[in-house]
């Protein structure tokens, strides 16, 4: 599976948010590393969970501070993603599926979700940060 590579077109016009997005890319790619055993996968899950929460929180604060007009829809996407992550973590803890398969499935889901969120949903607020 291809690695996530940062492109200039992903920039939302805020250096801090761009760096957080880049770190998310790195964390998501880590899920696909073949050397992950169950405990390393758990640690990666926890890191991802913490990092996503921190990133969403920071992004939401910035969007509130600039008075972004489509905030509610954006928050809904973040909420749905946080809920998905809780469910995914629980099913992993319950031991459904083997570690490598879980890693691959997660990688595909997260990569697709994050890329479409950054490319479409996040890009929509870019003009608001430039005001
Ligand atoms: Fe977002």
d(CA 34, ligand 1 centre) in Å: 29
Q: What is the Cα–Cα distance from 9 to 18, expressed in whole angstroms?
A: 11
The yes-or-no verdict on residue 1 having pLDDT over 60 is no
CB 1, CB 112: distance < 8 Å: no
* Cα 31 to Cα 46, 68, 95, 118, distances in angstroms: 12, 33, 16, 19
Give this prediction's pTM.
0.85
Q: How far apart are CA 28 and CA 45, in angstroms?
A: 9
CA 20 to each of CA 36, 75, 88, 101, 109: distance values in angstroms, whole numbers, following the listed order: 23, 17, 22, 26, 19
Residue spans of the domains in the chain: they are 14-130
CB 129 within 8 A of CB 14: yes
What is the per-residue pLDDT across 55-108, written as a single tens digit (0 to 9) for each? Answer: 999 999 999 999 999 999 999 999 999 998 888 888 788 876 677 777 777 888
Give residue 14 CA to ligand 1 midpoint distance, Å.
Answer: 12
Fold of 14-130: 1.20.120
Distance 105 CA to ligand 1 centre (A): 22
Q: Cα(121) to centroid of ligand 1, in Å?
A: 7
């Amino acid at each position: 599976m291809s690695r996530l590579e940062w492109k200039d077109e992903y920039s939302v016009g805020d250096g801090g948010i761009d760096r957080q997005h880049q770190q998310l890319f790195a964390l998501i790619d880590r899920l696909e590393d073949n050397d992950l055993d169950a405990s390393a996968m758990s640690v990666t899950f926890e890191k991802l969970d913490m990092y996503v929460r921190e990133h969403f929180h920071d992004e939401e604060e910035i969007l509130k501070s600039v008075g972004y007009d489509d905030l509610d829809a954006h928050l809904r996407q973040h909420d749905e993603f946080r809920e998905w992550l809780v469910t995914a973590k629980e099913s992993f803890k319950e031991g459904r599926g083997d570690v490598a398969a879980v890693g691959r499935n997660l990688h595909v889901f997260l990569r697709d979700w994050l890329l479409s969120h950054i490319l479409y949903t996040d890009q929509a607020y870019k003009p608001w940060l430039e005001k």
